[in-house]
Structure 1
Amino acid sequence: MIRLTIINPNTSAAMTEKIGHAARSVAAPDTEIRALCPGPLDGPAAIESHSDEIRAAAAVQALIQDDLARGGSDGYIIACFGDPGLDAARELVDVPVIGVAEAAMHVAMLAGRTFGIVTTLSRTLGRARDIAHRYGADGALVAAYGSGLGVLELEDTRPEAYERILGWCRTVVEEDEADVVVLGCAGMADLCHRLSASLGVPVVDGVAAAVGLASGMARMGVGTSKRDEYAHPPLAPRVRAAETTV
């Protein structure tokens, strides 16, 4: 049995449930998925700014530390497209730690030569381009658009929100001529198949991509290197956080 813990760094239990469902829909029968988020006082309600990202990164670290106190998992997934706290999380464990943006971009580059991103607010596009550069994906990234939707509008995606996302995805495919569309928010995880059917190109959700990569690495016995940068941090502070599990 492989046990994966998926951390939604915002405090939305509804979004965490959606993320958990999307993860379980692609997981193998021998993979246990635990999806959790920080408690209402321990993380941001939504991650829509650099300030939110700082709180989110601290929540990720605290929730992994708490999971380790319970015996730990075979892999961890950070379910926010900014991949907050990814490097700090890798310092804590020797198992795989995957960010959903990292996973989505790598899978997109395997599925086509070029890809475009459709995300939430336009203010997050700079962060998306920064991490695309870090992951070596900036040469394949041909477009990135903010839909204008707030993160919490995706807790239960209404038809008008779906149509807006679909419209931006069409722009990525028809005007920017991208081979693949990447959805830039874990809250869009449930839209992937509908969008792909409408567009006729692969649409990549980072949650599903991260489940595949994390479970594959766990089966291969490939974890996080402890040789240098990701060695356990000296005198790491113990930070506790409440959590919500769905």
Structure 2
Amino acid sequence: MTRITVINPNTARAMTETVGRRARAVAAPSTAVAAVSPSMGPESIESHYDEALAVPGVLAEIAAGERDGTDGYVIACFGDPGLDAARELAAGPVVGVAEAAMHAATLVGRTFSVVTTLSRTAGRAWDLAHRYGAAGACRGVHACDIPVLDLDGPGAREAVADLCARAVREDGSDVVVLGCAGMAAFCDEVAEKAGVPVVEGVGAAVKLVEALVALGLRTSRRGEYAPPPPKRYSGLLGGFTVGPEGQTLRQAGIQAPFSTT
């Protein structure tokens, strides 16, 4: 049995349930999926500020998964917040949904368009396209300007599908990438209107983690992704203090004393 933890980096339980349903729908029968969200952090991630403050909650969930024997992780936010830090802590593979979606899109088409939520997040999508070597294939990033927490509201799904169809026409792209984990259930409507393959990152990331686990591939411990060096953290971050084995107090299940110094 492969155990995968899908982490929704925001605190919106409804969105966690959405990504959990999608993850379980595509997972193999031999895969157990746990969908979790942090107890601390923003209710949605729509700015660099939100993303920065979501990362401690993501790392706390990685620490919990390590205590519970999780085989691999999905970070279910299109900004892939905390991905590098999570890889330093986790024994098994960690995959971000933007990373998975962009790689998958290049396997089924020469070019793709991203349709995301707010216009202010488009730059982050471009940053990740460059990081993942997919900028040459990305023809455009389009924003529906629907807040993340309103994606389950009336008319949102239709508006996203219409924008995806327009993006395909304007960009001449072969594939659509849905640029928010909250759009995980939109694939069928978008594919019908756009007439091209539609990739959403939650499902793509789950299947990639399954494959990496089956192949026995783990994150390299050489260089950048080696465990973080021992170091004391203070105040509200005391639980993230790193011990000599590269394990945080949270991973060890130890509650650090609260301190403001």
Fold shared, TM-score > 0.5 on shorter chain: yes
Deviations along 1:187-232, whole A, 9 cap, x unmatched? 0000112211222210000000001100010000011010111000
> C-alpha separation between the residues in 1 aligned to 2:199 and 2:79?
16
Q: Which residue is equivalent to 1:182? A: 177
- Quote the offset at 1:157 in angstroms: 4.2
> C-alpha separation between the residues in 1 aligned to 2:145 and 2:188?
22
Identity of aligned residues (%): 56
Q: Which residue is equivalent to 1:206? A: 201
- Quote the offset at 1:138 in angstroms: 0.3
Instruction: Say if 2:100 is the partner of 1:100.
Output: no
- Quote the offset at 1:101 in angstroms: 0.1
Letter in 1 for 2:160: I
Q: Indicate conservation of the 8 Å contact 1:3/1:73, yes or no.
A: yes
- Structure 1: stretches of 5+ with no match in the other structure: 242-246
Q: Which residue is equivalent to 2:236? A: none
Based on CA coordinates, which of the two structures has the bigger radius of gyration? 2
> C-alpha separation between the residues in 1 aligned to 2:140 and 2:153?
23
Q: Which residue is equivalent to 1:144? A: 141
Letter in 2 for 1:69: R
- Structure 2: stretches of 5+ with no match in the other structure: 234-238, 241-249, 252-261
Q: Indicate conservation of the 8 Å contact 1:117/1:143, yes or no.
A: yes
- Quote the offset at 1:129 in angstroms: 0.3
> Which of 55, 65, 68 is residue 67 of structure 1 equivalent to?
65
Q: Indicate conservation of the 8 Å contact 1:49/1:124, yes or no.
A: yes
Q: Indicate conservation of the 8 Å contact 1:94/1:226, yes or no.
A: no
Q: Indicate conservation of the 8 Å contact 2:66/2:91, yes or no.
A: no
Deviations along 1:5-41, whole A, 9 cap, x unmatched? 00000001000001000000000000000000012xx
> C-alpha separation between the residues in 2 aligned to 1:117 and 1:26?
21
Q: Which residue is equivalent to 2:247? A: none
- Quote the offset at 1:167 in angstroms: 1.7
Structure 2 counterpart SS, 1:65:
helix
> C-alpha separation between the residues in 1 aligned to 2:90 and 2:157?
37
Instruction: Say if 2:45 is the partner of 1:50.
Output: no
Q: Which residue is equivalent to 2:191? A: 196
Q: Which residue is equivalent to 1:7? A: 7
Structure 1 counterpart SS, 2:225:
coil
> C-alpha separation between the residues in 1 aligned to 2:38 and 2:93?
21
Q: Which residue is equivalent to 1:244? A: none
Q: Indicate conservation of the 8 Å contact 2:162/2:193, yes or no.
A: no
> C-alpha separation between the residues in 2 aligned to 1:52 and 1:37?
15
Q: Indicate conservation of the 8 Å contact 1:94/1:225, yes or no.
A: no
The alignment yields a C-alpha RMSD, in angstroms, of: 1.3
Q: Indicate conservation of the 8 Å contact 1:113/1:179, yes or no.
A: yes
